[in-house]
Amino acid sequence: RYYSNMSKPSVYITREVNKEALDLLNTQCDVTFWTGPGPVPRSELLKNIENKHALFCMLTDRIDSAILDRAGNNLKIIATMSVGYDHLDVPEIKKRNIKIAYTPGVLTDATAELAVALLLATSRRLLEANEEARTGGWQAWSPFWMCGPGLKGSTVGIAGFGRIGQEIAKRLKPFNPERIIYYNRSERKKEAEEIGAERVNFDDLLTQSDFISVSLSLTPETKEMFNEAAFSKMKTNAVFVNTSRGGVVDQQALIKALQQKKIWGAGLDVMTPEPLPLDNPLFKLKNCVILPHIGSAAVETRKEMGLICAKNIVAAFKGDPLLTELKT
């Protein structure tokens, strides 16, 4: 136990989180948190992290050596309320023997659900159609007006066949695509067989898919993997959906592909930067649906994510194994 002979360990939370998480932490620790609005400013984080034993952070907080230096030797655990951890300087954190907890699993269903919703909203032009209906563009039912590609008989490509990618594939299967193909670093044979998906290389994913749904984590290897060359290999009817991280896409190349109709459309829940500035060309494109990073935004999911962070912090203070430790 780290703290048995000490006063309560201290936790800094970079947002006001749910009551369940706060209540649990309050029973065991001294809790302070940023009350907003918005993400904690870096200057506040630097000030508040000093001497804390735990940090409970969000994907909007960049945790690097400057923050860790300021925290000092007390810091034993960082719990991020996300499954993605590209905002954490993992090697620096590990070097200092600080544990990392994250929230895999609990958000898989919510994120897969959103990916499917976004795919359909993009292909069947839901936002554009709604806009037409409310602004007088709907003059009469017309045979080919507001049409888009259907899933039935199509080839669905999943880039990143981890937990979320697999759940997206499972949810798309009842729409009767002809094939579900996936690109993934490791084979995932058993899971693929269960779903009826075939593993392909990246080029085949690009050239064969009618729909591409991205659920890759952002790493140096996946950074801007969807670049100009990749978009130029896609079908002109391809619908591209990204619910992972904006950084896996070369956004300029995507904008060009959409403007020049090299691909049919894109649905983005993530982009670079976030929030996307209002003057970004993506907002001007009718063939692009933009959501403000809401993949996991189901009420129960977010509560669970908060609670898992709290439980991990309590476990670390007790000297127990973490529930969801990031082991890299």
At closest approach, how far in Å is the CB of 198 from ligand DGY?
27
> Taking phi first (over 0 means left), then psi (-120 to 50 degrees means alpha), and beta for anything else, what does residue 240 get?
beta
Which of 31, 107, 225, 230 binds ligand DGY (CB under 6 A)? It is 107
306 interacts with ligand DGY by CB under 6 A: no
Rank residues 154 and 296 by Cβ distance to ligand DGY and give the closer one: 296
Residues comprising the chain, all counted = 328
Rank residues 84 and 267 by Cβ distance to ligand DGY and give the closer one: 84
Which of 166, 295, 306, 317 binds ligand DGY (CB under 6 A)? It is 295
At closest approach, how far in Å is the CB of 59 from ligand DGY?
5
Q: What is d(CA 61, CA 84) in angstroms, rounded to the nearest whole number? A: 12
Q: At what angle do helices 108-123 and 126-134 cross, to 10 degrees?
A: 60
Strand partners, 249: 226
Task: Check: CB of residue 79 under 8 Å from CB of residue 312.
Answer: yes
Residue 56: partners with Cβ closer than 8 Å, 6 or more residues away: 11, 12, 13, 14, 17, 21, 25, 33, 79, 81, 309, 310, 313
Show the binding pattern over residues 252-291: x = contacts ligand DGY (CB under 6 A), - = does not. Answer: ----------------------------------------
Rank residues 84 and 177 by Cβ distance to ligand DGY and give the closer one: 84
82 interacts with ligand DGY by CB under 6 A: yes
Binding-site residue total for ligand DGY (CB under 6 A)? Answer: 7
Rank residues 163 and 235 by Cβ distance to ligand DGY and give the closer one: 163
* Residue 293 among the catalytic residues: yes
Q: What is d(CA 153, CA 137) in angstroms, rounded to the nearest whole number? A: 31
At closest approach, how far in Å is the CB of 106 from ligand DGY?
9
Q: Which residue among 53, 245, 293, 302 is the active-site one?
A: 293
Instruction: Give the C-alpha distances (Å, rounded to integers) separating 227 from 201, 216, 256, 272, 279.
Output: 16, 15, 10, 14, 22
Which of 83, 181, 291, 309 binds ligand DGY (CB under 6 A)? It is 83
Residue 178 burial (CB count, 10 A)? 11
242 interacts with ligand DGY by CB under 6 A: no
Which of 11, 15, 63, 84 binds ligand DGY (CB under 6 A)? It is 84
At closest approach, how far in Å is the CB of 103 from ligand DGY?
6
CA dihedral 195, 198, 202, 207 (to 10 degrees): -110
Would you call 135 helix, strand, or coil by DSSP? coil
Stretch that binds ligand DGY, among 10-18, 81-89, 161-169, 205-213 (CB under 6 A): 81-89
**Catalytic residue numbers?**
293
Residues in contact with ligand DGY by CB under 6 A are: 59, 82-84, 107, 295-296
